[in-house]
Amino acid sequence: MQFSSGVFLMLFLPITIGIYKCGGSFLGHGFKNIILLIFSMIFYAWGEPLYIFVLIFGICINYYLGIEIERGRHKKAFLAFSLIFNLGNLFIFKYLSFVTRELYKIIPIKVVSIALPIGISFYSFQIMSYIFDVYYEKVPAQKNILNLALYISMFPQLVAGPIVRYSDIEKEINERSENSELFYQGTQRFIIGLAKKVLVADFLGGIADKIFITAEYSDIPMLTAWIGAISYTFEIYYDFSGYSDMAIGLGKCFGFHFKENFNYPYISCSITEFWRRWHISLTDWFRDYVYIPLGGNRVSSKRHIFNLFIVWLLTGVWHGANWTFILWGMMYFIIQLFEKKTKIMDRIPKVLGYVITMIIVTIGWTIFKAKNLINLASFLAAMFGYGDGIIDSSTLLYFKSSVIILSISFIGSFPIVETIEGKFLNPEIKVIKELVWLPLSVVLLGFCLLVIINGSYSPFIYFNF
């Protein structure tokens, strides 16, 4: 089940909120947690009826391990077992097929084919962050297994993030305040995310998919390749940030405050800045649980390079079992290392830094989307003039069909509303904003529902990770 489906919007969500709010007002906070947990399990089982047992088994094992680590006896051994279990689980379901497929090219072994459970990368990292924080005594172990299960399986962020730290919502699991203002804010944030996904990302995704698929079978002109690459660049941003908006909005509806996962990454003037703004929860996770424990930048130059290499290798591998993801991670390792060592982005004009950054990011997303290295080489060749010329009739058709939505996407990638609020922060502006947002959100929701009813199934990009 996904947020932008009719089943979720017209059936699952109204029923969940109705029972949660009405029953909770009579039966209290504990009932709300149980209802939210039950519906989270239903939400996951809807699309993964068998893999729900993998999730539940992981919760039970890590519940026990968290308590044993807190007790202090053999805590390192229990931590090691937790890492082996969680990373082993992730390896079997996400990487075993890829490894056996690659080994088969060298030695005659049986190729294993295992379906990928939705959201396993996200909830595995959440579980490990909980275990790490208990080990470092940042949080106490959760003694109520239902509360731990709620933290791990809460449906707003279960399948595509953001990666929520247990320490961020520990208090809200046990006691949280809910009111009409918070619910209103959450609803509006959800609608904004839904519009990003349905009205922008899905449209651009159709264009990008057609161009990338065409490039797999024939040469394409340079400008067509760039239209496809730019369309995917904005598609993945509006798709993933839209999901995060919906997750954060739904969290508010239930009284939870999830941290922001995107901060206008496409205004960045360097790759280092881009990764402070893009998928913030993942960047922070690798910083706190990999980069800093390895020594961060407070080590020798060679060790610092090694630390960066490990982080970017794992970042690439985390995104998927494909050589393209590893190449994508290594590209960012080399570029970020170059930025840090030369400080070159601090010495050039910001406008030039912005242009360079966006070109690199666009090429990076091309690597990210390519099915394999052969398709990638062909597409990159087309982008740099080694395809079927510069332009043809299809280029003009793609341009006409995408120019308006790409222009809107480009403008929307800048913090225009926040800038206006910052410069004209007064009660009148706030009232005007609320008066505009209320009817606008209703119109956006209506358009989204019409598109969903008349459209086809289009899963979130990060469901694959």
pLDDT at 147: 94
CA distances from 201 to 61, 84, 99, 230, 234 (A): 38, 37, 32, 12, 7
Across residues 44-50, what is the average pLDDT? Answer: 85
Alpha-carbon gap, residue 99 to 105, rounded angstroms: 10
DSSP per-residue codes, 296-310: TTSS-HHHHHHHHHH
- Confidence label for 139 from pLDDT (cuts 50, 70 and 90): very high
Across residues 223-230, what is the average pLDDT? Answer: 96
Amino acid at the residue 283: T
pLDDT at 461: 66
Within 10 A of 325 (CB to CB), how many other CB atoms are there?
Answer: 19
pLDDT at 456: 64
Which residues are catalytic, by number?
319
Across residues 152-177, what is the average pLDDT? Answer: 89
pLDDT at 465: 56
- Confidence label for 313 from pLDDT (cuts 50, 70 and 90): very high
Alpha helices for 287-345 (secondary structure H): 301-319, 323-342
Across residues 418-425, what is the average pLDDT? Answer: 71
Q: Is the pLDDT of residue 195 over 60?
A: yes
pLDDT tens track for 12-37: 999 999 999 887 667 777 889 999 99
- Confidence label for 410 from pLDDT (cuts 50, 70 and 90): very high
pLDDT at 69: 95
- Confidence label for 11 from pLDDT (cuts 50, 70 and 90): very high
pLDDT tens track for 64-119: 999 999 998 889 999 999 999 999 999 999 999 988 988 888 888 888 888 888 88
Structure tokens at 258: 């999830």
- What mean pLDDT is reported for the chain? 91
pLDDT tens track for 347-376: 999 999 999 999 999 999 999 999 999 999
- By C-alpha distance, which of 220, 127, 211 is closest to 166? 127
pLDDT at 458: 67
